[in-house]
Structure 1
């Protein structure tokens, strides 16, 4: 879609899909825990208040962010976004944390599966929980309700959004697992990948020390002395 030089009415915008990180970088993140990625990114980033609605805890969501901002309880622009997504995209929806009306349900799930989406992250509500619990389409959302959405707009596609306390740019790498969802800026993905792998190696050494009882007490005593405690 060519959106150059368009004059969008207030509250409406449709931008082209952002490419995101290289496919090999995305694939490399599939086996990395969201918690470890967060540790490699200062430990204070990621979503707050979402839960998974797919059934299997071990399911991993990983792909390129395709962002949508909607009016709370309205999914017109989500339907438009689903005509633009590509396989492997993650639909990241800023629904304003509203859970009074569901933004997606079982019919949209059917479209997501057919389009080959990697999953959905929604700061809003879902419905048709039994269908979302089936294998094949990871989804994280703030809540659920049987009440359906309107289709009036306005809304924006492929713009920066805030989803459950997490800023997401179009094309960011999105990783979600049982611990939560995190966004990795596309330009930093290779660096964060290396940092996460190094962090996991450090954790493996610490885990072995904990298992064998060989942990060095100085690791924490030094921190306590720095706080003024005589240990």
Structure 2
């Protein structure tokens, strides 16, 4: 599956459905990684879908500027600040990233100008904000494995995010999970339709039978009945 098709399909899905699909496949954390919950979107209601362009820096944003100059359309700047406290990007870098057609920015560290970033409708995830910017005097590294959100992110991996959080994996893994995630979302849409009509969620699952079997020590799985 080509990236363009993956991007189109992911635009119709949510991260939670993809995680449900990954859980059903028993994927290892190495092949499909959920970044930790400390990375939050500056503006909610946006999806991030792109390929990782990795940046490593510390208390200095010169390497981030270099990454911004080198990244291509549909890339996501994934920035490992190595626990920096100072901001390594703000409204100007985010505006330039959007102008260049990048898919978004994920910084395991600080951004600033959050009010300005929210006006852009451009996906930026950060761990916190800090009005004090870093320096521009040191170059670190780009397009190498980096630590971001408790995961090792490699150049070219797909990054997918929404209000619930961020996931990262290889293209082949996403191609494997997308059909399963589509099925999950279709089932949930049917459930929501019936619940909107007044049907209890309890009656749309095998909850009573499943609970009885679990309490009796028998093997069972909770399932939807739609």
TM-score scaled to structure 2, two decimals? 0.81
C-alpha displacement of 1:25: 1.2
Gaps (5+ residues) in structure 1?
1-19
Q: Is the 8 A contact 2:55 2:67 kept in 1?
A: yes
Per the alignment, residue 89 of structure 2 pairs with 104
SS at match of 2:64: helix
Residues 1:127 and 2:116 are matched in the alignment: no
C-alpha displacement of 1:58: 1.9
Give the count of matched residue pairs. 205
Q: Is the 8 A contact 1:94 1:124 kept in 2?
A: yes
SS at match of 1:59: coil
TM-score scaled to structure 1, two decimals? 0.79
The 2-side partners of 1:223 and 1:171 are apart by: 43
The 2-side partners of 1:172 and 1:76 are apart by: 23
What do the CA deviations read for 1:51-100 (whole angstroms, capped 9, x no partner)?
1112xx321111111111112x21111111111111111111111243x2
Residues 1:222 and 2:209 are matched in the alignment: no
Per the alignment, residue 66 of structure 2 pairs with 80
Residues 1:26 and 2:7 are matched in the alignment: yes
SS at match of 2:72: coil
Q: Is the 8 A contact 2:109 2:128 kept in 1?
A: yes
Which residue among 162, 170, 189 is the counterpart of 1:185?
170
SS at match of 1:83: helix
Coordinate RMSD, CA, aligned: 2.4
**Matching of residues 8-19 of structure 1 within 5 Å:** none
Q: Which has the higher helix share?
A: 2
C-alpha displacement of 1:195: 2.1
The 2-side partners of 1:134 and 1:30 are apart by: 21
Per the alignment, residue 34 of structure 2 pairs with 46
C-alpha displacement of 1:115: 0.7
Q: Which has the higher strand share?
A: 1
The 2-side partners of 1:96 and 1:176 are apart by: 22
